[in-house]
Amino acid sequence: MNETKIYRTFKEFYPFYLNEHSNRISRRLHFVGTSIALVLLITAFLTPIWWLVAVAFVQGYAFAWAGHFFFEHNKPATFVYPWLSFLGDWRMWWEMLTGKIRF
């Protein structure tokens, strides 16, 4: 990961983010983790089980980080760009869901 570059906008960050997710298995793990997180977040808001919000974040990142450590062999962008990376996760998830990015 290029830590010397400072990304100021999501528009300039997202191509870097996609490059850090070039491995297909890693992208699939991100998609699964984000999908499960979404289900847990919806469940938390529809029920009084608020601790599911924390579980959603933990398991979502667990899938993503497994993809980075075992398949991408790079450091997750979350460590340097937490907010931009969070936005990137959701955009990549949506683009995979809609077929713009291949599973």
Helix (H), strand (E), coil (C) string for 51-101: HHHHHHHHHHHHHHHHHHHHHHCCCCHHHCCHHHHHHHHHHHHHHHHCCCC
Q: Could you report the per-residue pLDDT of 35-56, keeping only the tens digit for each?
A: 999 999 999 999 999 999 999 9
Residue pointed to by tokens 């297909």? 24
Contact 60, 33 (CB under 8 A): yes
Give residue 103's pLDDT. 85
Q: What is the pLDDT of residue 81?
A: 95
- Residues in the chain predicted with pLDDT less than 70, given as ranges, are 1-4
Q: How many CA atoms lie less than 13 Å away from 37 in the CB half-sphere?
A: 20
Chain CA centroid to CA 82, Å: 10
